[in-house]
Structure 1
Amino acid sequence: MVFAVKLHLFRVSNSNNEVVFSKGALQKLGAAPGEHLSFKIGACHRFSAKAAVSTDRRAALGLPSDVFDELGLALIDGLHVKREGDTIHIGPTIGIMGAGKFDPERRHQQDMLNYAQTQGYIAFLFSPEDYNWATNTITGETMPGHRQPGLPLPTAIYNRIHTRDEEHKLRVEAIKNRMRALGSHIYNPGFFDKWEVHEHLMHGQKLRKYLPETHRAPTPALLKKILGRHHSAYLKPVDGRGGKMLMRLTKREKGYRLQWLTDLSCPHANFVQLEDAFEFAFCHTSLDQYLVQQSLDFSSFDGRSVDCRVQMHKDISGTWRCLMIGPRVCAHGCISSHFSQGADIVGTDDYFINAFGKKADTVKAAVEECGFAIAHRMDEYHTSPIGELGLDVGIDKSGHPKLLEINAKPGRMIFLDPRHAEARVSTLEASIDYGAFLSGFGEDPE
């Protein structure tokens, strides 16, 4: 790895096409006064200039006023600079691609910008519509309320487009492909297909202990076999998100109970025959678009089932870190731990000690081990880099973790709880730092 130096940044007027370095900075970069150098900012923004020396005692870099103003660098105290051959790379440049000013994660994204500026990163918010095809530049938000045109195409783009419908629009796909072709690294490339993910994980022999029994395209005969082994089963849409269209079928002493999620409630219906429950569940739905997954004998808190959101993030060295294990307690009578369904948050230690007593630390370590194993395997799932995963992990009463679902773009609602304030900060910092790593300004693993 070519190591970068962080230099204090200042604006140079009437520069005569010069970039001004302090003497120490020039030496660190192995350049000489008067040397003509090529400078690169972002994926494809280049300019040439002659190196000059300033009397500044600090390690400093003075950029021509047109470059300084065009890139909106007034808010950044320092930038990272490294040399590869005759090219000086200035950066990193990181774009956070979302839904624009109406993005529901706007506060979180603006906190990312603030962090990026303190680290000396060029960062901005933008939506796909902000990309200029003619100039390969972006109109981005560099600070709250300030949008600036002409920003360089970022070397790293953090994809937080938060709906499948928006992600799959042809213009969005075309823009992402164009950005990749020009050299941008788009991390978190898109949403996952639950069945494809399950098959990918099943090929990892050591991971099978974490995977509940799962099948695609349920039939009455298949459901009967699963209910004979597990008492109840979940019916999940392959491309579902947020618990939408989730159902649970339970075998009772006389007949079957089918529960399903609506926006605000969890109604149910009872059936004598399995075939009647099946027809009710799938009368308007393609069977091929659903999975059937065994239900677990979940550990509980206050008499309610619990699962855990496990936040896995890559850091500035490109290394996976487990930054949070957040237990979520289902509402009474509900089949989902989503907050829209009335789920509660409980303290991590409170849950593990309450549920597992003296085994609490051992079970918690097993959940972390599950998180790392899944995350490393998912690196092979997609050709584009993955920077974060939100794993929904259930823990049975014996303390064994099972993967329920992987979220490609995990939601942020859990961070509204003050008990996860530290994890909120560490996850947003990791999301930006991984962009620095992809931009070529990373650090060696510890």
Structure 2
Amino acid sequence: MKKYFPLEILDHSHQKVCIPSQIKSNVKLTKIAFGTHMIETEIEQHNRQSISLSRDIAEKLLLPPIKIPMHLFIANETVIIGPLVGVFTSGFTPFLLRPIGERSLFFAKLLSVKKSVGALPFIFGEQHINWEQGTIHGLFYHLDGWKTYEVPFPNVVYDRLPNRKTERQTSLRLVKERLQSEYMIPWYNPGFFNKLDVNDRLQQNENINTFLPETYAFSSFSDIEQMLSKYGHVFIKPMNGSLGLGIHQILFDKVEGSYFCRYRDLTGQNKLIKFSTLESLMGRIFKGKNLNRMLIQQGIYLLRKDKRPVDFRVHTNKDEKGNWIVTAIAAKLAGAGSVTTHVKSGGVIKTIEEVFPEIEEQKEVKRKLADAAIKLSEALEESMEGIIGEIGFDLGIDRNGAVWLFEANSKPGRSIFSNPQLREYDLLTRKLSLSFAIYLTERAISQPEEIFK
């Protein structure tokens, strides 16, 4: 059972905890917990719609002086207030004005929704943990500024490590393993997806493999030739790439018998170069590159707007009930001569309404994309390890109206929200990122076998 109540601190009382009388328990309540800290005390019920704690109780629990409503959970003889949500990341600076460098604004916006959600989030890294005391010197964003407070280990951890290189660090992996195994703390959104691994896992699901372009690990030039003959163009992508970096499109002109390669060079320029043979193209463009880390993917003839290819970013989130919902859909128009629709390659973010003027077409596009995204989210959750709470999909619709999956991102970027008309969805995705922590906290209390299976 969980409820959402204002929290008040009583300055002139001692060893006092009061909860609303509507909260029912089959046993006498004798303990109160915040995060992983728990103390024994008498718990009374009152007719007010609030949780009241005397200051000495709040101090023993290491409750920071931040006034927000919180949820109330009952487990056996214990009242649990929270959830306390630890957002785990790296890249900290010594400056409290911008404690996580350029990402400080993103984290400030994420934490600023705490009052409307009823969860208390903070940022931390491995250096902030005191294992002996079971506490963390967490960074809280409150009243438009960053503050540091010592708090207990959290009820749940939201993984926001910035990249694969950081994620592979042994010390950070040990933090995750220890908090999960020793303290039974649910950890959500772990890991970055590998494109080929995602494709291979989803291929096993007959309900969604129609969304998957033909995709293989690179093995030989003949594979590329066969796919070019079949599809007219293919993409060569890094298996662990992001932000559209390292993507090359290879096209074959059957009339001329020529090969073309479209890509973005190291200076950020979009290039289109013609070759007489595939061997000469590969020898020049991919010289010195490790092709064993690349995959080959079927080219799709996408819908176009103003003669530019269009694909779509669709965000899905788990809500406070643990259900997948679509939280944002945006169209992305490729930049002139660009191999991708990424903003850094000249791409432009548009709403569905801006791209499709007809209302019925808008509805149909949204329906198709939402249906595909929910099915893909459920399939990924079923086939991947760990607890997934959000996914960003790059989807395409071809000229025949079929939906295709190009990429799934476990830590989706936020570039689509630069469009002012999509700002409300930015807020929704941030809220749900923390609301899911409420669901996980409740499940960890009531059905831990589901969370830690």
Q: How does 1:35-114 map to 2 (within 5 A)?
A: 37-42=30-35, 44-52=36-44, 57-65=48-56, 67-68=58-59, 71-99=62-90, 100=92, 101-114=99-112
Structure 1 position 36, deviation (Å):
6.5
| Residue number in structure 1 paired with 2:450 | none
| Residue number in structure 2 paired with 1:200 | 201
1:210-246: CA deviation from partner (whole Å, max 9, x where unpaired): 1111111241111110000111110001111111111
Aligned partner of 1:273 among 277, 285, 309: 277
1:171-216: CA deviation from partner (whole Å, max 9, x where unpaired): 1111111111212211110101111100001000121211111111
Structure 1 position 415, deviation (Å):
0.6
CA distance in 1: counterparts of 2:11 and 2:166, whole angstroms: 43
Structure 1 position 311, deviation (Å):
0.6
1:401-422: CA deviation from partner (whole Å, max 9, x where unpaired): 1001111111112111101011
| Residue number in structure 2 paired with 1:19 | 16
Mark the CA change 1:434 to 1:243 in structure 2 (over 3 Å): closer, same or farther: same
What is the one-letter code of the residue matched to 2:111?
Answer: L
1:58-83: CA deviation from partner (whole Å, max 9, x where unpaired): 43321443534864443224322222
State the secondary structure of the residue aligned to 1:171.
helix
Structure 1 stretch displaced more, 270-279 or 94-103: 94-103
CA distance in 2: counterparts of 1:326 and 1:71, whole angstroms: 42
Aligned partner of 1:396 among 373, 395, 398: 398
| Residue number in structure 1 paired with 2:308 | 304
Structure 1 position 441, deviation (Å):
7.6
Indicate conservation of the 8 Å contact 2:4/2:70, yes or no: yes
Q: Does 1:229 align with 2:230?
A: yes
What is the one-letter code of the residue matched to 1:166?
Answer: T
Structure 1 position 52, deviation (Å):
4.5
What is the one-letter code of the residue matched to 2:270?
Answer: C
Structure 1 position 14, deviation (Å):
6.7
Indicate conservation of the 8 Å contact 2:140/2:148, yes or no: yes
Aligned partner of 1:262 among 252, 257, 265: 265
Mark the CA change 1:294 to 1:37 in structure 2 (over 3 Å): closer, same or farther: same
State the secondary structure of the residue aligned to 2:316.
strand
Q: Does 1:28 align with 2:23?
A: yes
1:3-48: CA deviation from partner (whole Å, max 9, x where unpaired): 12333322234754x23215xx25624489xx67122222x22221
Mark the CA change 1:170 to 1:340 in structure 2 (over 3 Å): closer, same or farther: same
Indicate conservation of the 8 Å contact 2:34/2:61, yes or no: no
State the secondary structure of the residue aligned to 1:309.
strand
For structure 1, which runs of at least 5 residues remain unmatched after alignment? none
What is the one-letter code of the residue matched to 2:164?
Answer: R
Q: How does 1:339-418 map to 2 (within 5 A)?
A: 339-353=343-357, 358-418=360-420
Structure 1 position 394, deviation (Å):
0.9
CA distance in 2: counterparts of 1:156 and 1:104, whole angstroms: 25
| Residue number in structure 1 paired with 2:150 | 150
Mark the CA change 1:225 to 1:11 in structure 2 (over 3 Å): closer, same or farther: same
Indicate conservation of the 8 Å contact 1:320/1:372, yes or no: yes
| Residue number in structure 1 paired with 2:115 | 117
- How many aligned residue pairs are there? 431
CA distance in 1: counterparts of 2:370 and 2:116, whole angstroms: 30
Aligned partner of 2:129 among 131, 146, 152: 131
Structure 1 stretch displaced more, 125-134 or 314-323: 125-134
Indicate conservation of the 8 Å contact 1:312/1:321, yes or no: yes
Indicate conservation of the 8 Å contact 1:140/1:148, yes or no: yes
State the secondary structure of the residue aligned to 1:267.
strand
For structure 2, which runs of at least 5 residues remain unmatched after alignment? 93-98, 445-453
Indicate conservation of the 8 Å contact 2:123/2:140, yes or no: yes
State the secondary structure of the residue aligned to 1:393.
strand
Structure 1 position 358, deviation (Å):
4.9
1:130-174: CA deviation from partner (whole Å, max 9, x where unpaired): 222222321112225443342121122111112111111111111
TM (norm. structure 1) is: 0.90
CA distance in 2: counterparts of 1:7 and 1:80, whole angstroms: 6
What is the one-letter code of the residue matched to 1:321?
Answer: I
Mark the CA change 1:15 to 1:384 in structure 2 (over 3 Å): closer, same or farther: farther
Indicate conservation of the 8 Å contact 1:5/1:81, yes or no: yes
What is the one-letter code of the residue matched to 2:262?
Answer: Q
Indicate conservation of the 8 Å contact 2:68/2:114, yes or no: no
1:73-109: CA deviation from partner (whole Å, max 9, x where unpaired): 4322432222221122111111222334235443232
CA distance in 2: counterparts of 1:370 and 1:146, whole angstroms: 40
RMSD: 2.3
Indicate conservation of the 8 Å contact 1:188/1:386, yes or no: yes
State the secondary structure of the residue aligned to 2:65.
helix
CA distance in 2: counterparts of 1:64 and 1:219, whole angstroms: 69
Indicate conservation of the 8 Å contact 1:300/1:306, yes or no: yes
1:382-435: CA deviation from partner (whole Å, max 9, x where unpaired): 331101110000111121110011111111121111010111011111111011
Indicate conservation of the 8 Å contact 1:95/1:156, yes or no: yes
What is the one-letter code of the residue matched to 1:297?
Answer: Y
Indicate conservation of the 8 Å contact 2:8/2:50, yes or no: no
CA distance in 1: counterparts of 2:319 and 2:52, whole angstroms: 27
